[in-house]
Amino acid sequence: MNRSRSSWDKKAAQPPVTRLTRSSSSTQTRQSDTTETQESGPGLYGKQRKKQTDSALAQDLSQMRVSGQDGLSTSKAKMSKGSSDSVQAAQSSGSRSDLSSPSEVSAKSSSRGGLASVARLVKLGRCKNVVVVAGAGISTASGIPDFRTPGTGLYANVEKYNIPYPEAIFNIDYFSNDPQPFFSLAKALYPGSHRPNYIHYFIRMLHHKGLLLRMYTQNIDGLEKVCGIPDDKLVEAHGSFATASCHLCYTTYPAEEAKHAIMSDNVPICTFCAATVKPDVVFFGEDLPQKYFLHTKDFPKADLLIIMGTSLQIEPFASLVNTVRSTVPRLLLNRHAVGPFERVPLRRGDHVELGDLEDTVRRFAEMLGWNNEIEELMRSQETLSLPALISNPPPVSGQTPCQSRGASEPPARMETSRSRPGAQRGASSGSSEETDSETDSKSSASSSLSN
């Protein structure tokens, strides 16, 4: 059955509807609360201070930047306000890429030692529960534009979508009124035409080494799965194209049929309420998938947080980075300092490596002695997966939109700090129904290598 209808008759045929409002975020807690309550444990650096067991660690400690304001600035209001202020200041200066900002200078000056310090910690076996937080910047090397890079980012090229402001393309109310701008973009973003790059395989190698606790990605390109990061190690916080459902009543819809309709310039229509179907990519104002709530278990457990290729502008995702224990090292790999890494001085244990992400990750891998293995992994995976991908699309999480939007947990809704400057910054807390797979055994990694 052809469930779609031509884009040209869509507006006339769609019945007037009452919009469903997804549940509010009244139960949300500020991430800074979580951080504060989790500071009591000794943490990685706490242990180091006590033991001082080797000169490498002593050197690490000498490179750590200790902010005298750390304790003072942990008041909930200040942490939240300070962070959004710096974001807004950067925005009002016209570009987030202003390299002359003080934080940028500070971050640059501390960057080289930072990467080496973290590599040393990993080699010493101090980081066994690594959480990776990623954004569109990890996929630009695969040829997929990010949102905000001036010139090449999608937001700089939205004229062709005929929308009043860039974020409209991912605004659910705008989509409800006119899905065409998003569908035009979706045609370019649909997984299939892009390949994972070195950065994706570096993260896959973290898993292979048994070090990856979880990867939280905002990306919707599916490249994490294509490179072989297993489903239980991955949280696609902003959804994906792997499933589709009605944007109003959430009735599921076959993803392949939705794709076919969109690629053919038709509009997939819900068989239940006749509203427009969309891929389960999370729009502003929509709830994040249930799996996102794994963060409440993962972040307190993390012993290293790596943040890659994101401007940390979209909430509640952006605030996740504040929920590791304050003693846990955080490493930002990005072209520009973002979020809490704009702060001067950096929080103790924070490290920033600025520059092209692929170059940085290659250097990181070389410091770790992983480069050859990653190259080999890339070769083997690409050889294995290309023919398989053609006949067999990458596996999907198995989460249906109904499951992912279950009513049992408080939802988190996606917002930009930019579009909602006064909005509460912070992720919802809640428990997860997902199995918490803690270990990344080498055997499971090896078997996934041969998939």
Could you list the active site residues? 238
Q: Which stretch binds ligand CNA (CB under 6 A): 23-31, 225-233, 305-313, 390-398?
A: 305-313
Instruction: Identify residues 207-226 at the interface with ligand CNA (CB under 6 A).
Output: 218-221
CB within 8 Å of 324: residues ≥ 6 apart:
35, 38, 131, 299, 300, 302, 305, 330
Minimum CB separation of residue 39 from ligand CNA in Å reads 27
310, 381, 399, 417: residue in contact with ligand CNA (rule CB under 6 A) = 310
Q: Which of 115, 38, 134 is nearest to 329 (CA)?
A: 115
Q: Which stretch binds ligand CNA (CB under 6 A): 41-49, 75-83, 250-258, 334-342?
A: 334-342
Cβ atoms of 104 and 354 within 8 Å: the answer is yes
Nearer to ligand CNA, 304 or 308 (CB): 308
Examine residue 284 and tell whether it contacts ligand CNA (CB under 6 A).
no
Minimum CB separation of residue 383 from ligand CNA in Å reads 24
Instruction: Identify residues 234-253 at the interface with ligand CNA (CB under 6 A).
Output: 238
Minimum CB separation of residue 84 from ligand CNA in Å reads 15
Q: How many residues bind ligand CNA (CB under 6 A)?
A: 29
CA atoms within a 13 Å half-sphere pointing along the CA-CB vector of 148 = 22
Q: Return the percent helix, strand and coil in the chain, to nearest 5.
A: 45, 15, 40
Minimum CB separation of residue 404 from ligand CNA in Å reads 16
Q: Which of 413, 418, 415, 307 is nearest to 357 (CA)?
A: 307
Answer whether the bond into residue 345 is a cis peptide, omega within 30°: yes
Examine residue 325 and tell whether it contacts ligand CNA (CB under 6 A).
no
79, 107, 255, 338: residue in contact with ligand CNA (rule CB under 6 A) = 338
Cα(96)–Cα(319) distance, rounded to whole angstroms? 18
The three-class DSSP label of residue 41 is coil
314, 332, 361, 445: residue in contact with ligand CNA (rule CB under 6 A) = 314
Minimum CB separation of residue 394 from ligand CNA in Å reads 14
Q: Interface mask (CB under 6 A) for ligand CNA, residues 134-163, using x and -?
A: -xxx-xxx--x-xxxx---xx---------
Minimum CB separation of residue 335 from ligand CNA in Å reads 3
Interface residues with ligand CNA (CB under 6 A) are: 135-137, 139-141, 144, 146-149, 153-154, 218-221, 238, 309-311, 313-314, 334-336, 338, 356-357
